């Protein structure tokens, strides 16, 4: 099976920048310096484009700004260098026809390289995204938020937890090699279990920084046997490293620091010795 173009683009960006760091491009007016969102986003991209393997805009922050927010999203998407993949953190998931429209919006209209998808409604809600064979589809599996255990840790009649069943289904659905999983750094033991179920699948791993996830464990348990395929997503810790005029420089300094930490953790893995 030929390698999915998104996976190739991700690997190339990671190798070029020696990085598995993904920066979330979100906007929180209470934490931002006094600059316009578009100016802020462009400055962050300019300061970090050589330090990342991907960018991840969360659509909620743009949608909250109305039509103007969508224009900002479109312009930032075009501003990101073409060799760096863009993961739309949209968490879409709905019945067939609606899912088709969501997939078209994210992949055809906006041109994102990948998207996060909620599998709660089952295969027909995910299939329209998977059918875009050149795009990445990150299925929510064991998320980083505090309430994730309300449902995701429940045991099914199979004897496995729901998140384990999601991982197994994702593995079965991955006929085009374009599926990945969202697994939070805040749940390292679950991350280790999921990696054992899907040994080669790319993982999008949020939860480092503001949410308190352990970076060393995320790298140790999240990377595949080659020391790849774990995208460490960080947003607030980098974006809001400073509220002053030097916010872009501060963001770069924090991003470089985290990238170095990831690479040190990679080098310390037993497989790398």
Percent of the chain with pLDDT over 90: 92
d(CA 251, CA 67): 27
Q: Which residues of 157-173 are buried (b: 16+ CB within 10 A; e: fewer)?
A: eeeebbbbbbbebbeeb
pLDDT of residue 269 exceeding 90, the answer is no
Q: Give the pLDDT of residue 212.
A: 80
Catalytic residue check, 226: no
Residues with Cβ within 8 Å of 192's Cβ and at least 6 positions away in sequence, in order, are 221
pLDDT of residue 156 exceeding 80, the answer is yes
- Burial degree of 255 (CB within 10 A; 0-12, 13-18, 19+): buried
Q: Which of 36, 91, 100, 193 is catalytic?
A: 91
3-class SS string, 59-123: HHHHHCCCHHHHHHHHHHHHHCCCCCCEEEEEEECCCHHHHHHHHHHHHHHCCCCEEEECCCCCH
Q: Give the pLDDT of residue 248.
A: 97
CA distances from 220 to 12, 117, 151, 239 (A): 22, 25, 26, 25
Q: Using CA atoms in the order 131, 90, 199, 238, what is the torsion angle rounded to 10 degrees?
A: 140
d(CA 24, CA 238): 9
Tokens of 11: 């690997």
Question: How large is the average pLDDT for residues 131-137?
Answer: 97
Q: Give the pLDDT of residue 9.
A: 97
From the options 3.20.20.70, 3.30.300.30, 3.80.10.10, 1.20.1440.230, give the CATH code of 5-266: 3.20.20.70
- Name the least confident of 14-23, 75-84, 91-100, 210-219: 210-219
For the chain, what is the total number of helices (H) and then of strands (E)? 12, 8
pLDDT of residue 26 exceeding 60, the answer is yes
From 87, 129, 93, select the one nearest 234 (Cα to Cα): 87
Question: How large is the average pLDDT for residues 215-224?
Answer: 95
d(CA 190, CA 88): 24
Question: How large is the average pLDDT for residues 143-148?
Answer: 93
d(CA 208, CA 215): 6
pLDDT of residue 209 exceeding 80, the answer is no
pLDDT of residue 273 exceeding 60, the answer is no
Task: Give me the residue label for tokens 């070029």.
Answer: 16
Q: Give the pLDDT of residue 3.
A: 84
Question: How large is the average pLDDT for residues 52-69?
Answer: 96
Question: How large is the average pLDDT for residues 113-140?
Answer: 97
Q: Give the pLDDT of residue 1.
A: 63
d(CA 71, CA 81): 18
Question: How large is the average pLDDT for residues 218-244?
Answer: 95
Q: Give the pLDDT of residue 272.
A: 60
């Amino acid at each position: 099976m030929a390698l999915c173009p998104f996976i190739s683009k991700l690997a190339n960006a990671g190798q070029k920048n020696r990085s598995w760091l993904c920066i979330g491009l979100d906007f929180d007016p209470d934490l931002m310096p006094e600059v316009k969102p578009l100016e802020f986003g462009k400055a962050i991209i300019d300061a970090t484009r050589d330090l990342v393997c991907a960018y991840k805009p969360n659509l909620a922050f743009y949608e909250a700004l109305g039509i103007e927010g969508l224009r900002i999203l479109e312009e930032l998407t075009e501003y990101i260098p073409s060799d760096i993949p863009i993961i739309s953190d949209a968490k879409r998931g709905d019945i067939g026809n609606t899912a088709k429209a969501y997939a078209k919006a994210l992949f055809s209209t906006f041109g994102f390289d990948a998207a996060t998808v909620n599998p709660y409604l089952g295969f027909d809600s995910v299939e329209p995204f998977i059918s875009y064979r050149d795009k990445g589809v990150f299925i929510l599996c064991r998320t980083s938020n505090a309430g994730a255990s309300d449902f995701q840790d429940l045991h099914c009649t199979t004897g496995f937890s729901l998140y384990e069943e999601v991982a197994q289904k994702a593995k079965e659905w991955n006929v085009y090699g374009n599926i990945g999983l969202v697994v939070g750094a805040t749940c390292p033991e679950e991350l280790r279990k999921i990696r054992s179920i899907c040994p080669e699948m790319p993982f999008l791993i949020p939860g480092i920084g503001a949410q308190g996830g352990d970076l060393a464990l995320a790298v140790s348990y999240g990377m595949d046997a080659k020391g790849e395929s774990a995208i460490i997503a960080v947003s607030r810790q980098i974006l809001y490293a400073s509220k002053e005029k030097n916010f872009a420089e501060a963001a770069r300094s924090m991003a470089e620091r985290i990238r170095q930490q990831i690479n040190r953790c990679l080098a310390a893995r037993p497989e790398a010795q």
